[in-house]
Amino acid sequence: MIHVTMDRMKEDTDTVCAFANEESKRYYIKYFDWKISSKVQVYKKSIGYSGLSAESLLAILKRGKLDKEFKLEEVRRFDAEVLDEIVVKHARSAKYSYFFKSSEFLNWKYLDNKHYKTEGYLIKDKGKGSGYVVTYDDGIETKIIDVLVDDDSVETFEKTLSALAYIASRKGKKRLVSYATPNCWYLKALKKQMFIYRWEFDFITALLNKASIHPDWVIQIGDFDIF
C-alpha cells in the first residue's frame, strides 16, 4: 500500500514529510528509502505548581505576563481582511520557505476542527496586527501548534510566549509546550523564556523526484500536524 501511494504521489509531489514513531521509522528507512532530515526538539515551560521540583520553582519565578502594548486577541475565526495581508507580506519577506496558509485554510484546519480544542489568537503589538498563533489544550498542557510572526521578530515571539504562558496558567494549565529544530530562528527565544528541553524525535522525508532537501530548510511550528 505504501509503494502504491508513493508511486501515485510522484505525479505531482517532490517530497513527502513525516513524523514517525521509533518502531515505524525503522521500516520507512529500511524498506522505502526515507531519510532522517532533522531532529525536532520538544520544549516545555512549567507555568503551574506541580509539587516540590525545579519545574515548580520556574513556574513561580516566571509564569508569564501580559504587556500593556502587546495583546493576543482571541478569535473564533481568523478574519481574511486582517490576517491575509500579514501572511502575504510575511511570505514575500521571510528568510526561509514556509508553507503558505491563508486565513481560510487556518480556519478550516484548526478553528473549525471539532476533534480538537484549539484556540486562535491574532498577535497585536502596539495596536498593529503582527501575526497569529494557534494553541491546542491537551490535558494539563497547552501546545503551540501553529504560529507566524511578522518579520520573524524574535522580540515579538518572546512576548507571544510570555502572554501564552500567562493565559494558559489562568486556565489552570501546568505546562506550555513548543517545538523547535536546531537551526530555527526562534530557538533563542525559547531558551530565554525558560523553556525546559525535554526530548527530540526524528523528522523524516522521502524524495519522490529530483528535488533535494536543502541544509538551510527550517521546520517550524505549524508546518505539519503536531498534536
Q: Alpha-carbon distance 46 to 30, whole Å?
A: 38
pLDDT at position 211: 66
Q: How far is CA 210 from the centre of its chain?
A: 28
- What was the pLDDT predicted at 225? 65
pLDDT value of position 216: 64
pLDDT at 213: 65
All structural domains of the chain: 40-199 (3.40.630.30)
Show the low-confidence residues of the chain (pLDDT under 70).
48-65, 96-98, 211-219, 223-227
* Phi/psi of residue 135, nearest 5 degrees: -120, 160
Give me 31's grid cell. Answer: 524498506
Its pTM stands at: 0.82
Query: Residue 111 has what pLDDT?
Result: 93
